[in-house]
Amino acid sequence: MSADVEALIAEAVEEFRAALPARAARVAALAAAGDAPGAEAEAHALAGAAGCYGFDAVGEAARAVERGGAAHLPALLAAAEAACRPR
């Protein structure tokens, strides 16, 4: 893989990482507003994207929200926060 492609991938991963808190907060906001279908759809999208970018813990937590509802939101928010911590 060329250095240019590696740089583009790294940039995309960092952009995804930067957006994680807002995306997780959107799932939580939809759930808090009583929009379970909306929260499930957002969680589904987040789970898929997280898997593509290698954020397995976020993907698993989002999938749990998608399947099990708002009771799993704390784990999703915690996983998103942990993924954003400096390495």
Mean per-residue pLDDT, 4-26: 94
Q: Are 27 and 73 in contact (CB under 8 A)?
A: yes
**Residue 15: CB atoms within 10 Å:** 10
Q: Which two tokens stand for residue 84?
A: 């954003």
Range of the domain at 20: 3-84
Mean per-residue pLDDT, 57-78: 94
**pLDDT attached to residue 78:** 95
Alpha-carbon distance of 48 to 51, in angstroms, equals 5
Which of the four pLDDT bands, split at 50, 70 and 90, describes residue 1? Answer: confident
Q: How many domains does the chain have?
A: 1
Which of the four pLDDT bands, split at 50, 70 and 90, describes residue 10? Answer: very high
**pLDDT attached to residue 57:** 95
Alpha-carbon distance of 76 to 44, in angstroms, equals 12
pLDDT (tens digit, 9 = 90+) per residue, 30-63?
A: 999 999 999 999 999 999 999 999 999 999 999 9
**pLDDT attached to residue 85:** 86
**pTM score of the predicted model:** 0.90
